[in-house]
Chains A and B, each alone.
Chain A
Amino acid sequence: DAGVTQSPTHLIKTRGQHVTLRCSPISGHKSVSWYQQVLGQGPQFIFQYYEKEERGRGNFPDRFSARQFPNYSSELNVNALLLGDSALYLCASSLTNSGQGVHTGELFFGEGSRLTVL
């Protein structure tokens, strides 16, 4: 079975540019979350989408945006890139949302997109 897939795996951008990262969840999973992992730190929550609606947002500036498509895949967009945006961007999918009965809390992570901003 295919796990969570992310693309691209690596990319290099320069300051001020824009980037789009893509994620395909595990088949049947309707929730997608995005996390940023800076080197030496744990993942930090950016967004969560469920059934194409934003259900949660972390403490990130408006330069970060995301959306979820009818097939439950998702895109993370970052505008006006800064050097500090260099990180591993992780996508995670889960079966349910917290409002849909018991939330198992188990997130299934992709391998990430490593973004380097020069």
Chain B
Amino acid sequence: AQSVSQHNHHVILSEAASLELGCNYSYGGTVNLFWYVQYPGQHLQLLLKYFSGDPLVKGIKGFEAEFIKSKFSFNLRKPSVQWSDTAEYFCAVNGKEGANNLFFGTGTRLTVIP
């Protein structure tokens, strides 16, 4: 069975601080990995994704994530957060060949203090 763990439930940072949100998944096969973001009052939207190739992927708004296969991890990073990054962040995995369904983590709420 596939599962995703996000260990940080709520993170509070000051502007300009660096961010790293943890994501670990459980699946033994080939995976596609995603980070989705939900800004207050808005719908879920894709932040970045990994399918294959360079394990360091860059997304929108200066976010990046690194796929470390040996650690089953796909942590999200940003060198300097802004107040506008306040949102809920969801890690998701699609680990079954031919399957469209995503398995989401429980989410991490990020609050950035100006």
**Interface positions of A from 1 to 25, Cβ below 8 Å from B:** 3-4
CB neighbours of A41 from chain B (8 A):
106-107
Majority secondary structure, A binding face: loop
> In the complex, which of the residues A90, A103, A109 contacts B100, with contact meaning CB atoms closer than 8 Å?
A103
State how many angstroms separate the Cβ of A105 from the closest Cβ of chain B.
5
Contact of A98 among B43, B44, B46, B100 (CB under 8 A): B100
Out of B42, B97, B99, B104, which one reaches A111, CB within 8 Å?
A: B42
In the complex, chain A residues whose CB is within 8 Å of the CB of B42: 111
A-B contact pairs, 29 of them (CB 8 A): A4-B43, A31-B100, A35-B104, A41-B107, A42-B6, A42-B92, A42-B105, A42-B107, A43-B104, A44-B104, A45-B102, A48-B100, A56-B100, A90-B44, A94-B100, A97-B100, A98-B97, A98-B98, A104-B49, A105-B32, A105-B34, A106-B49, A107-B46, A107-B102, A109-B44, A109-B45, A110-B43, A111-B43, A112-B43
